[in-house]
Amino acid sequence: MPDSPYDDFLKNLARMVEEIIQSMPSQDEARFIGCTIITGNQSDTPHVIRIDTSRLQDLEYEMIESDDRIFVTAAIPPGITSAIYTDIQAEKIAIIADERRTEIDPPCRIDILESFYQVKNGIIDIVLKKERRRAVHR
């Protein structure tokens, strides 16, 4: 049986998949985001081109709650090219850094006018004032 012109391609593809699987972390969080196959010179050794997908993932943050405030702190990852800022809404907070948008659901409604954030030394600190419940008059 003559060799198929796709034999080399399939061997190279099998080696690439094997390299991907071997280099995946052993954690349950590992996942494929996308795949692109680029054809090139047949004599080139197949290799995996790694793409930094960390810019697409949520920022890690810490939230601490007191009686009247909520404190959110996050480290700004390296490589951010634009100013980091927050979008503070009554029921949802977002930290925006380049293409990342990390949304945070606070445990209560937020008083937007009394809340603020500060970026300093690679850290963003967000201070959220809890909205006071208004007495209902009957």
pTM above 0.85, yes or no: no
Query: What are the tokens at 68?
Result: 């009247």
The architecture that CATH gives domain 55-130 is Sandwich (2.60)
- Are residues 70 and 85 in contact, defined by beta-carbon separation less than 8 angstroms? no
pLDDT at position 108 is: 93
72 contacts 125 by C-beta, under 8 angstroms: yes
Domain locations along the chain: 1-51, 55-130
User: What are the tens digits of pLDDT across the range 55-65?
Assistant: 445 788 899 99
Spans of the chain below 70 pLDDT = 1-6, 25-57, 134-138
pLDDT of amino acid 124: 92
What is the side-by-side strand order in the sheet with 69-75?
A: 61-65, 69-75, 123-130, 110-120
CA 58 to CA 95: how far, in whole Å? 9
pLDDT of 129: 96
